[in-house]
Structure formats: C-alpha cells, structure tokens
C-alpha cells in the first residue's frame, strides 16, 4: 500500500496499538499530577489550620470565606474539567475518524487511478519498408594520392499507407480477480499500399502485433484474400512485389485481451484516407488522448467513435478508447471538518453557557450528542451526499436541543445557539462557501448574545 493512503501524518489514531498505549501513558501521568496537586492542597490547608489553631475567631472567619470561594471554585472546575474531557476525547475520536476517512478516500482514488491509468493495448500502424541503393562518395589514399571514390549503399526507406479502414469492437469484463477490468478486442483492418516509386518493386509489409496484450489469438495477415505465412518466430515482416503505379490491399485481424484501454498509434506516419471505427459495448466510455472523434454514436450501452482523416494528417499521440470514470471531487472535506470539530463544539458550548443555565448532566449529554452526530455524518457521508446527511442530522439535533430549555423561551434560545454554534459552522465546512457561512454563523452568535444580554431580553429562566 502506498504511503499516501496511510492517513494524515502526525495525527493520533487510536486504532494504532502503539499510539493507544502512548495515549494511556500520558493519561496516567496527568492523573498522577492531578493527585499530587490535590494532596499538596490538602497539606497546605492542614498547615494553615495548624498555624491558626490558637486563634479560633480568625480561623473560623478564614475557613468560612475560603469554604465559600472553594465551593465556587470546585463547581467551576467541575464544568471546566468536564469540557476539557469532552474536548480531549472528542479530539482523539475526530482525529481517528479523520485518519480513517482520509485512508478511505486515498484508497478510492488509487483504485480509480489504477482502472484509468493501468495496462493498455496499443496497436501500431503497419509500415511498408523497402531497400534502395543510394550513391555516396568517400575519399581514400591510393599510391600516396587522395582519390574520391563513388559507390552505392543500401538504405532503408518507408512508404506511407495509401489508405486505412479499421474496425475495432471492444467488450469489457469486470469480474476479473486482481484487475479492475479487461478488454476483449476484436480487430480488423484493411490497408492499401500504392507503389509510387519508379525503380522499386520489392517491399516488406511489417505488421507487428499490438503491445500490452495478455492474450493474443487468431492473428493473421492476408493479401488480396490470401494468408501470408510467418517464416520466422517474432518476425512480422512479409515480403511482396508491387509494380510501379500498382495498388494492393492487406488485411490484419486478431482477437486479444488486455487492460482497460485501447489506442492506435500512427508511428510518425502521415495518415491518408484513414478511417477508424471503435465500438465499445459497455458504459461509461470516453475517447483517449484528447483526439476528438469526427463522429460519436450512442445506442443503449454501446458507443461508437469514428475518426476520419482524408489527406496527410499527422497525429502525434496514440488515440482510442478507455473506460471512463466519474471524477472524484470534494476530497479532504470531511477530514478537515473532523479536525475542526472540537473547536466547533467549544463554540457551541460557550454559546449555551452564555445563554442558558447548564448543568454537568446537560453538558455531558450535549457533548455526546454532538460527537455522535459527527460519527453518523462520517459514515453516512460515504454512501450519500454529506450535505444532505447533515441537513437530516440537523433536524434531529434541533429537536434534541429543545430539551435544554426549562421553558419555551429557554428552548428557543437553545435552538438559536444550536443553529449558530453547531449547525451552521459544520454546514459551512461542508460547502465551498465556508468563509461566508462561518461569518454568518459568527454574526448570528454575536447578535443573539447582544440581544440576550444588552437589550433586556425576557429572562430565559422565567416559567411558562
């Protein structure tokens, strides 16, 4: 597995045993420090009590005031400790979910890339080769004198094909173990050769089989209906004679299996009277290399692409057909949301504290509901649109937040806090206009707090 699919580097993942052990060790160290502070505070109180043992009045006054302040401090620390526990636990939960979701997204992208950029079957245009004698001169020394010698040497040249009529039928097999898909290719092509030379009539028709196949069968080359025998293994050059001005036709056919892409390469030749028709009996499918076909016909699940080049057309890149896949968009949105979720939770809790009387039980339940909603969003977002999932979850969250109020006004206040502090921020992190949505959520929060505390909003504690 590639390193890009292992998760987000540097984030804790509680599904990893070594990180879980490390997290438990840190909790143990923190607990020991807290116990030490409690013991130190008890020792300090005992020492102060011992020093004031002879001054009964001052001792009573000191401990009376201190007891009230200590009680208030303990009550505030209880809320602070609960919020910190929820934040820390929620952070580790969200970081783990973020790593898992990132891993799932990268694995999905890798699978799509493998299906699109995997093996391919590349058919190269045949070449017509001939050998001609060309004169050349060289200098040599004879009896101490420099002499220029004229001679001839064999040089290999090529004729351009006079015409190409190609039919390709493609069928796709997807139930192949270890492969995303394979193509079953039925290839038939007729090539016209015209001898435009005056002094040459001996040629070689070189028609090698395609590159990248896993299975090739029924490969044959025919001239004017007569099959040409292959003389040597691996040698796909077929000699023939053609008088000046004459024309002949070759037919190449085969059946093959290969990866999910078929392309045709002109091999640097100028294409004339060229027609390639590729019929893909599956869907979705698209043309490759950006060479737009002249004709496209769709009938049910079958798509036919036709490329037509009339005279002296140069095509640099191989062109053909590949299995199309839907583009993968909006990756990384859920992992980003999960990393920012503890901050959103803190925003929501602070709004509730500034608007309603919150007990420890209510804070704990609200924290559990919030992170449970995120957990549901994470896994349902893999199946359907994440924005639609959050809209449905928001309705449930609003209905549950109504129970935070002791009366109707308080319940309405709790719903306003939930919309401004939880629903809008999360929704803003799921859509492209995150900054605008978060700004609206912040403005709504500020307006609500201003109305609640500055403009004599009716008490939320008032009974029905």
The reply to whether 461 falls in a domain is no
First to last CA, the chain: 62
Looking at the fold, whether 33 and 170 belong to one and the same domain comes out as no
Helix or strand run (H / E) with residue 90: helix 56-116
Global model pTM greater than 0.85? no
CB 325 within 8 A of CB 115: yes
Q: DSSP for 303-372?
A: EEEEEEE-SSEE--S-EEEEE------STTHHHHHHHHHHHHHHHHHHHHHHHS---HHHHHHHHHHHHH
| Dist CA 404 CA 347 (whole Å) | 17
pLDDT band at 392 (very low <50, low <70, confident <90, very high): very high
Task: Classify each residue of 158-172 as buried b or exposed e, where b means 16 or more C-beta atoms within 10 Å of its C-beta.
Answer: ebebbbbbbebbbeb
Characterize the bridge pairing of strands 145-159 and 127-142: antiparallel
* Token pair for 154: 């064999």
Q: Report pLDDT for 92.
A: 80
Length of the chain: 464
Residue 173's DSSP bridge partners are: 182
* Token pair for 454: 């500055």
Please give the tally of structural domains in the chain. Answer: 2
Lowest mean pLDDT among 63-67, 122-126, 262-266, 328-332: 63-67
**Which one of 293, 323, 353 terminates a domain?**
323
Looking at the fold, whether 164 and 283 belong to one and the same domain comes out as yes
Radius of gyration of the chain (CA): 40
Looking at the fold, whether 206 and 281 belong to one and the same domain comes out as yes
The reply to whether 66 falls in a domain is yes
Looking at the fold, whether 220 and 266 belong to one and the same domain comes out as yes
Q: Report pLDDT for 276.
A: 94
Is residue 9 scored above 60 in pLDDT? no
Looking at the fold, whether 236 and 88 belong to one and the same domain comes out as no
Instruction: Report phi then psi at 356, rounded to 5.
Output: -135, 155
Residue 251's DSSP bridge partners are: 190, 222
Cα–Cα distances in Å, from 252 out to 127, 176, 234? 12, 28, 16
Looking at the fold, whether 201 and 303 belong to one and the same domain comes out as yes
Looking at the fold, whether 306 and 168 belong to one and the same domain comes out as yes
More confident of the two residues 109 and 262? 262
pLDDT digits over 113-150, tens only? Answer: 665 555 788 999 999 999 888 887 878 877 778 878 78
Question: 305: domain range?
Answer: 121-323
The reply to whether 144 falls in a domain is yes
Looking at the fold, whether 205 and 249 belong to one and the same domain comes out as yes
Looking at the fold, whether 271 and 128 belong to one and the same domain comes out as yes
Q: What share of the chain is helix, strand, coil (3-state, %, to 5)?
A: 45, 30, 25
Looking at the fold, whether 68 and 203 belong to one and the same domain comes out as no
The reply to whether 220 falls in a domain is yes
pLDDT digits over 213-255, tens only? Answer: 888 998 999 998 899 888 777 788 899 998 888 999 999 999 9
Helix or strand run (H / E) with residue 85: helix 56-116
Is residue 256 scored above 90 in pLDDT? yes
**Which one of 275, 302, 323 terminates a domain?**
323
Q: Report pLDDT for 176.
A: 63
The reply to whether 404 falls in a domain is yes
Q: Report pLDDT for 47.
A: 65
pLDDT digits over 148-157, tens only? Answer: 878 888 888 8
**Which one of 297, 323, 349 terminates a domain?**
323
pLDDT digits over 68-98, tens only? Answer: 555 555 566 677 778 888 888 888 888 888 8
Ramachandran quadrant class, 242 (left: phi over 0; alpha: psi -120 to 50; beta: rest): beta
| Dist CA 118 CA 157 (whole Å) | 35
The reply to whether 463 falls in a domain is no
CB 166 within 8 A of CB 276: yes
Distant-in-sequence contacts of 221-226, Cβ < 8 A, 24+ apart:
221/250, 221/251, 221/252, 222/250, 222/251, 222/252, 222/253, 223/248, 223/249, 223/250, 223/251, 224/248, 224/249, 225/251
3-class DSSP string for 371-402: HHHHHHHHHHCCCCCHHHHHHHHHHHHHHHHH
User: In terms of Cα–Cα distance, which of 192, 182, 185, 181 is closest to 168?
Assistant: 185
Looking at the fold, whether 306 and 374 belong to one and the same domain comes out as no
Looking at the fold, whether 77 and 136 belong to one and the same domain comes out as no
The reply to whether 218 falls in a domain is yes
The reply to whether 414 falls in a domain is yes
What CATH number is given to the structural domain containing 198? 2.60.40
């Amino acid at each position: 597995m590639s390193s890009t699919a292992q998760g987000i580097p540097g984030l804790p993942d509680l599904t990893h045993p070594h990180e879980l052990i490390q997290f438990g060790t840190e909790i143990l160290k923190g607990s020991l420090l807290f116990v030490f502070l409690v013991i130190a505070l008890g020792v300090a109180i005992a020492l102060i009590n011992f020093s004031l043992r002879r001054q009964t009045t001052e001792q009573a006054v000191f401990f009376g005031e201190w007891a009230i302040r200590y009680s208030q401090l303990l009550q505030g620390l209880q809320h602070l400790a609960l919020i910190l526990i929820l934040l820390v636990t929620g952070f580790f939960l969200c970081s783990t979910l973020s790593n898992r979701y990132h891993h799932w997204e990268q694995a999905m992208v890798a699978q799509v890339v493998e299906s699109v950029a995997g093996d391919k079957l590349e058919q190269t245009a045949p070449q017509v080769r001939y050998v001609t004698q060309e004169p050349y001169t060289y200098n040599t020394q004879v009896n101490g004198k420099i002499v220029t010698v004229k001679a001839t040497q064999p040089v290999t040249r090529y004729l351009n094909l006079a015409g190409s009529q190609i039919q390709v039928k493609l069928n796709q097999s997807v139930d192949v173990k270890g492969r995303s898909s394979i193509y079953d290719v039925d290839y038939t092509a007729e090539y016209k050769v015209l001898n435009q030379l005056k002094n040459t009539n001996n040629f070689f028709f070189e028609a090698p089989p395609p590159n990248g196949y896993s299975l090739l069968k029924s490969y044959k080359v025919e001239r004017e209906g007569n099959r040409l025998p292959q003389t040597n293994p691996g040698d796909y050059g077929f000699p023939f004679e053609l008088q000046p001005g004459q024309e002949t036709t070759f037919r190449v056919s085969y059946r093959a299996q290969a990866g999910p892409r078929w392309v045709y390469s002109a091999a640097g030749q100028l294409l004339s009277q060229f027609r390639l028709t590729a019929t893909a009996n599956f869907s979705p499918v698209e043309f490759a290399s950006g060479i737009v076909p002249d004709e496209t016909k769709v009938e049910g699940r079958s798509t036919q692409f036709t490329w037509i080049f009339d005279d002296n057309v140069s095509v640099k890149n191989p062109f053909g057909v590949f299995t199309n896949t839907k583009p993968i968009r909006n990756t990384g949105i859920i992992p980003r949301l999960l990393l920012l979720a503890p901050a959103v939770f803190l925003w929501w809790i602070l709004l509730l504290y500034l608007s309603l009387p919150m007990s420890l039980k209510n804070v704990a339940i609200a924290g559990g509901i919030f992170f449970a909603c995120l957990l549901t969003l994470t896994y349902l977002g893999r199946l359907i649109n994440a924005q639609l999932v959050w809209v449905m979850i928001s309705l449930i969250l609003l209905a549950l937040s109504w129970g935070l109020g002791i009366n109707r006004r308080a319940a309405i206040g709790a719903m306003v806090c939930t919309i401004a502090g939880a629903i809008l921020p999360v929704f803003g992190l799921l859509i492209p206009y995150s900054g605008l949505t978060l700004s609206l959520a912040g403005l709504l929060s500020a307006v609500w707090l201003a109305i609640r505390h500055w403009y004599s909003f009716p008490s939320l504690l008032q009974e029905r």
